[in-house]
Chain A
């Protein structure tokens, strides 16, 4: 009698998320600024926004209710209208 033994471990396949294409310039771009609410995040990101504004970008601000959660859908929806986003503060 012949037994066929199957390997039960299977194969783990993970798809690599695609990253967005980068623009060539900041001028004329809407830059989303996603503040996660950590202490000083508003100050640090505010400075980023001010400097990027000098490059011709227009900041669009959003704030998360909690840094320990992902952004709520309404924040993502608001930022989805931007050309690029900077988020923080991971710290």
Chain B
């Protein structure tokens, strides 16, 4: 998902309007990536067209119907009309225990990772340092086989949590097996 968005930003920078089809389970990642890349606040609302997850088990006929139902949204994304600013994670309240706030903020992201067979678990918050684990089973990121390396995910988590936990200074995530 985040790579689709990075490709889109690359193309936008070249002057090419780009719309993105994304399964809705990845909405938290879309908003987190948007924050990480410092994209306009309404970028996701205007440029992403959501599909109900999962799509991998659809028949060809059902897949076509799904697109037929969304083609107007796709036209709108390409031609740049409409799209209300997304609320997304911005509604989360900034209160309470920092670790619990951070966990609540990234829960949607963790759910997205679980959909891909991984998980994100935040373990502790100590003096501005947030530590956690990316549980990816037998995969490692050393050969590039995982969807998102822990260091990149840590930057994403920092971008998501920092607005809600101003005392946050660092995020450290480790790849571990289940």
Contacts and interface: CB of A to CB of B under 8 A. Distances in A.
A32 interface: yes
Interface string B140-168: 00001111100000000000000000000
Contacts, number: 169
Interface stretch (B33-41, B87-95, B96-104, B118-126): B33-41
Chain B interface category by residue count = 35 or more
A85 B11 contact: yes
Interface residues of A, number: 47
A78 to B, nearest CB: 11
Contacts of A69: 3, 144
Interface stretch (B18-26, B130-138, B170-178): B18-26
Given A18-B13, A69-B144, A90 B20 contact: yes
A24 B29 CA distance: 30
Contact of B17 (A16, A23, A45, A47): A23
The binding surface of chain A is classed by DSSP as loop
B26 A22 contact: no
A39 B23 CA distance: 12
B16 A85 contact: yes
B60 A43 contact: yes
A78 B61 CA distance: 30
Interface in A76-91: 76, 79-80, 82-91
Interface of B: 1, 3-26, 29-30, 37-40, 43, 47-48, 51, 53-56, 58, 60, 63-64, 66-68, 71, 74-75, 77-81, 144-148
